[in-house]
Amino acid sequence: MNGRTPLIAGNWKMHKMGSQAVEAANQLKRLIEKATDVEVMIAPTYTALYQVAQVLKDSTIALGAQNLYWEKQGAFTGEISSEMLVDAGCSHVIIGHSERRQFFGETDASVNLKIQAALAAGLIPVFCIGETEAQREAGETFSVLDKQVRDGLKGFSFEDLSGLVVAYEPVWAIGTGKTATREQAQKVHQFIRSLLETLFDKPFAGSVRILYGGSVKPDNVRALMEMPDVDGALVGGASLDPETFSKLVFFNL
């Protein structure tokens, strides 16, 4: 027993209108009512957050956002602050997802600022890292991850980062149906944990949940979750249908 409660997190990306998000949240609530020893989080799109928060009020399912902007308020058209996410009912926020890095110019430096803003507002950051296919093929996986972790977490102490969740998502496995093998995932998760130990300390590294993400499905979740350093999953496609997602929550059955 490592003392880390598994976390199964659903990233709904840019899917579902408000009413559809409410319906899916209601369904999920019913489907996983009896789940124990697992934490569940869903991250709907911004416009559905407040509505979904009302549905989740009397449940143990946590609400997350998919991004934030680091300033508290001001003339930043189109952006949303960490306080606004808290106000909408969020407890978690996904930061540095590879789609934000690839399509929206997210850098390790902006990820660092966002983690800082999330922590200041009391949000749990789900800090995403991962290598591209080209980087893996060039043998750069570990150096890429090393830089993402060091720069993303630069300037924090382990006290600041309490509750931090890391999500390892190989870019080549996201939405492609190509999952990393569980051995590949374990090797990377172990690397990340030992890096956290080097940067902070052993108890902290041992407490951080490291999720795997990238084509997690009901038929591969259990094998991944059996690995000692895989503490959960960050799920895109398979989180959209509550029935399918509930099977991931019950990975142990």
Asked whether position 210 contacts ligand PGA by CB under 6 A, the answer is: no
Tell me the CB-side half-sphere exposure of residue 188, using CA atoms within 13 A.
Answer: 30
The residues pairing with 8 across neighbouring beta strands, listed in sequence order, are 40, 233
Question: Which one of residues 67, 215, 220, 246 is an interface residue with ligand PGA (CB under 6 A)?
Answer: 215
Asked whether position 213 contacts ligand PGA by CB under 6 A, the answer is: yes
Catalytic residue among 39, 97, 106, 189: 97
Residue 41 CA to residue 227 CA, distance in Å, equals 21
Catalytic residue among 92, 106, 169, 189: 169
Asked whether position 169 contacts ligand PGA by CB under 6 A, the answer is: yes
Whether 97 sits among the annotated catalytic residues: the reply is yes
CB of 62 to ligand PGA, least distance (A): 16
Question: Which one of residues 6, 7, 11, 248 is an interface residue with ligand PGA (CB under 6 A)?
Answer: 11
Whether 159 sits among the annotated catalytic residues: the reply is no
Please state, in angstroms and as integers, the Cα–Cα distance from residue 240 to each residue in 20, 210, 244, following that order. 10, 22, 8
Asked whether position 175 contacts ligand PGA by CB under 6 A, the answer is: yes
Residue 12 CA to residue 69 CA, distance in Å, equals 19
Residue 138 CA to residue 72 CA, distance in Å, equals 40
Question: Which one of residues 125, 236, 245, 251 is an interface residue with ligand PGA (CB under 6 A)?
Answer: 236
Going by C-alpha positions, the residue among 9, 211, 198 that lies closest to residue 92 is 9
Both tokens assigned to 242: 């509550």
200 versus 233: smaller Cβ distance to ligand PGA: 233
Which one of 47-55, 130-138, 140-148, 210-218 is the stretch in contact with ligand PGA (CB under 6 A)?
Answer: 210-218
Residue 163 CA to residue 204 CA, distance in Å, equals 10
Q: Position of tokens 């929550």?
A: 249
Task: Please identify every residue annotated as catalytic.
Answer: 97, 169
Residues at the site binding ligand PGA, with contacts judged by CB under 6 A? 11, 169, 174-175, 213-216, 234-238
